Amino acid sequence: MRCHETNKIKTKIMRAIEFTSKIQENKILIPRRMQSKLIAERDKNIRVLIFLEDSEIYDEKAYRQITKNQFLKGYAETDSIYDL
């Protein structure tokens, strides 16, 4: 990870590598095609961001209903003064 100093503020420059994988035994499996790209990065700090597939929201109609219901949970009768 390289640091760049700008007006005495250090910013970390990171590189992103994207792949799909599975979690098995609490470990994220790295595909073989990515392993060679990461071998030189051994012992470096990494930042991990995980996007999980959510089969419950694949149905567009169901997704819209779920989001509508969640939105309306925060709606109170006193909010009706803002309705046109």
pLDDT digits (tens, 9 = 90+) for 32-63: 988 988 888 888 888 889 888 776 556 777 77
Q: Is-above-0.75 flag for pTM?
A: no
What is the percent of the chain with per-residue pLDDT over 90, rounded to a whole number? 11
How does strand 23-24 pair with strand 27-28?
A: antiparallel
- 74: tokens are 């925060």
> What is the identity of the amino acid at 72?
L
CA distance 33 to 30: 8
Query: What is the pLDDT averaged over residues 67-72?
Result: 84
Confidence of residue 1 (pLDDT cuts 50, 70, 90): very low
- 67: tokens are 């989001």
Strands (E), the chain: 2-6, 9-13, 23-24, 27-28
